[in-house]
């Protein structure tokens, strides 16, 4: 599904990532973990086109997408969420999700300004679909609320609904459980499984080990910009190198 090959990222004199390669299998939930500063978010930023890597390649279903900007990746089905939630806070929840449908609608600046008939039909269709995604994430009741007025936990759900509206084949989630309380985390777990069950491949960067070990089918461990290990949750838990990286030498 997604393959990264020899990704290296150097910021000035600092090597943030060094020769990272791994493959994400289709239809599974893959976790990317590692101590702070391991380079997880940098890796995500490279895959999603926000940074351009120093060297290495990224493939989406065999297609080379290295260096493609995010607006080109969304129509190809690669979408992400953010660690510090990037809400469109002056818009309603429904409007946030409608932006997610942007690539799947066509009306240009002129047909929108002139309100041409096909634009109206499209607008209706988009609204219906956006409402379906709100329901999927269990936030139908918030449709008309301004996103900036929502509590943090709800913002997460809105962000997921918005990402799902893009119709992704693969969804990258950057620390989805950060800032959530235990009940919200439990809800999130259910939601992530539900997303996988729709056939979307999920990759997540996460600090909450319990969550990761619970829902991930495969795990990639990074430490200090290098890949430390790769395998099933059980293999990772028993891997001496991983234990050392997390707990220090005993």
Partner 1 sequence: MKRDYLLFLLFATVVLVAPAAFKGGYLLNVLVFMGINTMLAVALNLLLGFAGQISLGHASFFGLGAYLSGILSTTYGFNPWLTMVIAAVAVGILAFGLGFPILKLKGHYLAMATLGFGIIVYIVFNETVALTGGPSGLSGIPNLKMGSLTFDGDLKNYYLIWCFALVTMLLAINLAHSRIGRALRAIHDSEVASRVMGVNARLLKVQVFALSAIISAVAGSLYAHTMSFISPASFGFNFSVELVTMVIIGGLGSIFGSFLGAALLTILPELLRVVQDYDIVVYGLLLIVMTMYMPKGLAGGIASLARRLRPAKKGVVDAQG
Rounded to 10 degrees, what is the CA torsion of 241, 242, 246, 249?
-20
Question: Residues touching partner 1: how many (CB under 8 A)?
Answer: 45
Contact range with partner 1 by CB under 8 A, out of 18-26, 117-125, 197-205, 232-240 = 117-125
Does 122 help bind partner 1 (rule: CB under 8 A)? yes
- Looking only at the bridges linking them, the beta strands covering 2-11 and 55-60 are antiparallel
Does 162 help bind partner 1 (rule: CB under 8 A)? yes
Q: Do the beta carbons of residue 54 and residue 8 sit within 8 Å?
A: yes
For partner 1, the closer CB: 51 or 219: 51
31: left (phi over 0), alpha (psi -120 to 50) or beta: beta
Q: How far is the CB of 90 from partner 1 (least distance, A)?
A: 6
Q: Do the beta carbons of residue 57 and residue 65 sit within 8 Å?
A: no
For partner 1, the closer CB: 150 or 219: 150
Return the closest-CA partner of residue 200 out of 165, 151, 153: 165
Rg of the Cα trace of the chain? 19
Place of tokens 């209706």: 124
Identify the residue among 102, 193, 234, 244 touching partner 1 (CB under 8 A): 102
Q: Tell me the backbone φ, ψ of residue 148, rounded to 5 degrees.
A: -65, -15
Contact range with partner 1 by CB under 8 A, out of 35-43, 95-103, 132-140, 211-219 = 95-103
Q: Tell me the backbone φ, ψ of residue 171, rounded to 5 degrees.
A: -115, 125
Identify the residue among 6, 37, 67, 89 touching partner 1 (CB under 8 A): 89
Contact range with partner 1 by CB under 8 A, out of 116-124, 178-186, 192-200, 226-234 = 116-124
Does 30 help bind partner 1 (rule: CB under 8 A)? no
Contact range with partner 1 by CB under 8 A, out of 13-21, 91-99, 208-216, 218-226 = 91-99
Site string for partner 1, 41-60 (x = CB under 8 A): -------x-x----------
Return the closest-CA partner of residue 158 out of 197, 130, 125: 130
Does 103 help bind partner 1 (rule: CB under 8 A)? yes
Angle at which helices 93-100 and 152-165 pack, to 10 degrees? 30
For partner 1, the closer CB: 26 or 89: 89
Return the closest-CA partner of residue 38 out of 250, 211, 234, 220: 220
What are the residues binding partner 1 (CB under 8 A)?
48, 50, 69-71, 73-75, 79-80, 82, 86-92, 95-96, 98-103, 105, 107-109, 112-115, 119, 122-123, 126, 144-146, 149, 162-163, 166
């Amino acid at each position: 599904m997604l393959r990264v090959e020899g990704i290296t990222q150097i910021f000035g004199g600092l090597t943030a990532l060094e020769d990272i390669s791994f493959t994400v299998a289709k239809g599974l939930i893959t976790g990317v973990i590692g101590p702070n500063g391991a380079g997880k978010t940098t890796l995500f930023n490279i895959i999603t086109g926000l940074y351009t890597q120093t060297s290495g390649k990224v493939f989406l279903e065999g297609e080379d997408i290295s260096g493609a900007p995010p607006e080109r990746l969304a129509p190809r089905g690669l979408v992400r969420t953010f660690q510090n939630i990037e809400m469109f806070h002056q818009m309603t929840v429904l409007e946030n999700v409608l932006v997610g449908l942007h690539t799947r609608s066509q009306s240009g600046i002129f047909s929108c300004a002139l309100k041409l008939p096909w634009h109206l039909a499209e607008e209706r269709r988009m609204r219906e679909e956006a409402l379906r995604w709100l329901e999927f994430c269990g936030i139908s009741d918030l449709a008309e609320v301004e996103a900036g007025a929502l509590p943090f936990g709800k913002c997460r759900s809105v962000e997921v609904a918005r990402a799902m509206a893009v119709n992704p084949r693969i969804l990258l989630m950057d620390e989805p459980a950060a800032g959530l309380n235990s009940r919200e985390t439990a809800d999130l777990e259910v939601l992530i499984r539900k997303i996988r069950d729709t056939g979307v491949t999920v990759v997540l960067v996460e600090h909450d080990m319990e969550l990761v070990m619970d829902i991930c089918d495969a795990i990639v461990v990074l430490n200090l910009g290098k890949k430390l290990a790769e395998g099933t949750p059980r293999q990772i838990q028993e891997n001496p190198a991983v234990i050392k990286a997390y707990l220090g030498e005993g």
